Structures are given as structure tokens and as C-alpha cells.
């Protein structure tokens, strides 16, 4: 048996960070399964997946060693355990639309998402708080007036609830690299178009005004670039010449909920592998 963990390192860029972290893990008998790093405007971000043979995994030594490294480097280093057989703790981010959230909750009630555990609902508005309480889930309202402050609060909430992955159930705010790098390929979004066409908030209106004959939705992992993350699933429907924008939106929302649910199921089934920015089903 193996023990798995994800380690994130974030801070101002400096030389030797990768070497110091990987050398420490080597000394702790870790096997590095995957590593991805990037520097954006002087900000260093790294996500590393490691595994240990259970008998060789000294948890206090790893935790204390990483804490010492973080202090020495002046960076944030976080360790999250990712036991393969444990139910994945899920955070759901919402704004005011209910259709995606309702479908996820219905699937939980039916036992269709047994590998996940809904743990907290976070909204940049308070509209869905009664609905979250109805499903016996804690709801936290985080106003998005200042993004840096809001994201700091969001990260605190995700840490407190030991969240493994995040679902954006029509969450209408853009997440910065500060959040995305902490949950690399663990934030699932649904977008109301067949990406890469019609990115942004008014996708249905853009499609309607362009007179397209096929309209779709895209579930994707969130990346640092708006609506450009690796695509997990897509679906579409044909439009009629007499369809109004309101009818198109209604049809699209039904498809959004179904496609987001499909993406979450694929993620939980561990059938997704991201390779050079493209999702492969395995």
C-alpha cells in the first residue's frame, strides 16, 4: 500500500526552490509522481504529487520538514493527503443560479456520487444560502468586492474544510492563479458555450446574436487563463430559427447541469489525466 500527498509551493520566485523541496522529499523516501511549476510575474508556483510506501512514511518528519523549508524559503508550502480510497471532500461555489447545484444535490441523494462528500457551499452572494441549509450543508457568504481579500477568505475556508476538489456551479467570478495553483486540475467549471468559441460571461447572447445553429456547453478544469482550461466534457443542442434568447438559455441551463455532473463523475472515477493541457480519459 502507498500513501499519497499533494504538495503546493507558492511565493516570490528564487533559485533552488525545486531542488530543495525534491531533495528533502528524496531524503524522506518519497517517490515523486508528478511535478508542475510556473513563474508568473515573479510569482513562483509548484504543484507536486508524491507517494510513499506506508511503512516508510514518517508523517511528523515530513510535516515538520516542509514547515521548516517554508520558513527558510519565505514561501507557503502546504501538504494535502490524498488517500485513493477516501471519499473526496468537495466544495461547491455558487452565485445565484440554482440549476447546477440542484442537479448535484439530487445525484448525492440518489447515491450517484458516492466517492464524494459535499462539505461546504461558498457564495459570492447569499442567494443560495437557504437552499444549502435545506441540504444540510454549511454555507459561507464571501463578498467579492476586493478579489485578493475574497480569495484569501476562500482559501481559508477550503483549508478549514480540508477540501480535495472544487466545483464551480455557475460561480460568476474569476479565480486568480493564487487559488488555481493551490488546486491544480482540481477545480471544475461549466461554461455555456462550446469552448474555445464565446468565452466570457455572455456566451448565450453571443451565440444568439451570431445566429449559430448549434449551441453547447463545456465542462473544464480551471486554468490561469479565462475559459481556456483543459476540457473534460462537452454537449450541444440545435437551435430552431424561431427560438428566443430566453428559450436558448433555458435549454442551455439543462445541458449545463447534466454536463457538469458528467465531469464530476469522470473526475471521481479517476478516469481523467491532463497531459500538456489536454484531458485524456483513461
Spatial CA neighbour of 90 closest among 170, 8, 187: 187
State mean pLDDT over 60-67. 93
State mean pLDDT over 23-39. 90
- Alpha helices (H) along the chain: 17-27, 59-73, 99-109, 129-134, 147-160, 177-180, 203-210, 245-268
Q: How far apart are CA 37 and CA 29, in angstroms?
A: 22
Give me the pLDDT at residue 175, please.
92
- 100-144 pLDDT, tens digit per residue, is 999 999 999 999 998 899 999 999 999 999 999 999 999 999 999
Query: Which has more confidence, 213 or 263?
Result: 263
Give me the pLDDT at residue 206, please.
82
**Is the per-residue pLDDT at 90 higher than 90?**
yes
Q: What percent of the chain has pLDDT over 90?
A: 55
From 85, 159, 227, 242, active-site residue: 227
Domain boundaries, the chain: 2-81, 88-281
Give me the pLDDT at residue 280, please.
55
Spatial CA neighbour of 32 closest among 4, 65, 74, 13: 4
**Is the per-residue pLDDT at 54 higher than 60?**
yes
Q: Which three cell numbers stand for residue 28?
A: 524522506
**Is the per-residue pLDDT at 282 higher than 80?**
no
Spatial CA neighbour of 135 closest among 91, 115, 165, 105: 105
- 193-242 pLDDT, tens digit per residue, is 877 777 777 777 888 788 888 888 999 999 877 667 788 999 998 988 88
**Is the per-residue pLDDT at 276 higher than 50?**
no
CATH code assigned to 2-81: 3.30.70.260
Does the annotation count 159 as an active-site position? no
CATH architecture, domain 88-281: 3-Layer(aba) Sandwich (3.40)
Query: Which has more confidence, 94 or 40?
Result: 94
Q: What angle do CA 230, 97, 258 make, to 5 degrees?
A: 50
Amino acid at each position: 500500500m502507498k500513501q499519497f500527498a499533494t504538495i503546493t509551493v507558492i511565493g516570490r520566485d528564487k533559485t533552488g526552490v525545486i531542488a530543495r523541496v525534491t531533495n528533502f522529499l528524496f531524503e524522506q523516501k518519497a517517490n515523486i509522481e508528478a511535478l508542475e511549476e510556473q513563474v508568473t510575474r515573479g510569482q513562483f508556483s509548484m504543484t507536486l504529487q508524491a507517494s510513499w510506501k506506508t511503512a516508510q512514511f514518517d508523517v511528523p518528519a515530513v510535516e515538520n520538514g516542509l514547515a521548516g523549508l517554508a520558513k527558510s524559503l519565505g514561501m507557503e508550502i502546504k501538504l494535502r493527503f490524498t488517500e485513493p480510497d477516501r471519499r473526496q471532500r468537495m466544495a461547491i461555489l455558487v452565485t445565484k443560479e440554482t440549476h447546477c447545484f440542484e442537479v448535484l444535490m439530487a445525484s448525492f441523494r440518489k447515491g450517484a456520487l458516492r466517492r464524494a462528500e459535499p462539505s461546504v457551499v461558498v457564495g459570492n452572494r447569499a442567494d443560495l444560502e437557504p437552499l444549502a441549509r435545506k441540504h444540510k450543508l454549511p454555507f459561507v457568504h464571501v463578498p467579492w468586492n476586493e478579489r485578493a481579500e475574497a480569495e484569501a477568505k476562500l482559501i481559508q475556508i477550503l483549508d478549514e474544510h480540508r477540501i480535495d476538489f472544487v466545483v464551480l456551479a455557475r460561480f460568476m467570478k474569476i479565480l486568480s492563479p493564487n487559488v488555481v495553483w493551490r488546486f491544480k486540475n482540481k477545480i471544475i467549471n461549466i461554461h455555456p458555450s462550446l469552448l474555445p468559441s464565446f468565452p466570457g460571461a455572455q456566451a448565450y447572447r453571443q451565440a444568439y446574436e451570431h445566429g449559430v445553429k448549434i449551441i453547447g456547453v463545456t465542462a473544464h478544469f480551471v486554468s490561469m487563463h479565462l475559459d481556456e482550461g483543459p476540457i473534460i466534457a462537452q454537449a450541444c443542442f440545435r437551435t430552431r430559427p424561431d427560438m428566443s434568447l430566453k428559450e436558448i438559455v433555458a435549454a442551455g441551463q439543462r445541458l449545463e447541469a447534466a454536463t457538469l455532473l458528467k465531469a464530476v463523475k469522470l473526475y471521481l472515477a479517476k478516469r481523467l489525466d491532463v497531459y500538456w493541457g489536454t484531458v485524456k480519459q483513461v
